[in-house]
Amino acid sequence: MYTCVTRIKALQSFKDKESWKEHMVTHFAPESCPLRKHNFKLMDKYGHHFFRLKFVKPDTGWLFHTYQTKEEYLQSIPFRLLQQEEFHEWGMEYEIFDPQGL
């Protein structure tokens, strides 16, 4: 398995994980986002517990995406880099921590 961790720092504060997630999905990463589409396909195949969000008040989300195969992880890279570029254009911090040992 290959776990990629992403840290996203929003431009505003939130009271909880649900409000942070709702804001991000509504304004920046809708269901049509290529990375979300890729990951949801894998969630349907393996289960949602391999894709987790930890919220750190007041503005930071840590995403933990665990891919079952190296190929599935490698397929996600261009989508993640595109999303990172978009978030940077919107003025947000978006830091990727790739799996070790690839």
Domains and CATH numbers, the chain: 2-97 (3.30.70)
Task: Output the pLDDT for position 42.
Answer: 95
Decide: pTM greater than 0.75: yes
Q: Residue 12: helix, strand or coil by DSSP?
A: coil
Task: Output the pLDDT for position 99.
Answer: 87
- Give the tens place of pLDDT for each residue, 23-51: 999 999 888 899 999 999 999 999 989 99
- Give the tens place of pLDDT for each residue, 71-98: 999 999 999 999 999 999 999 999 999 8
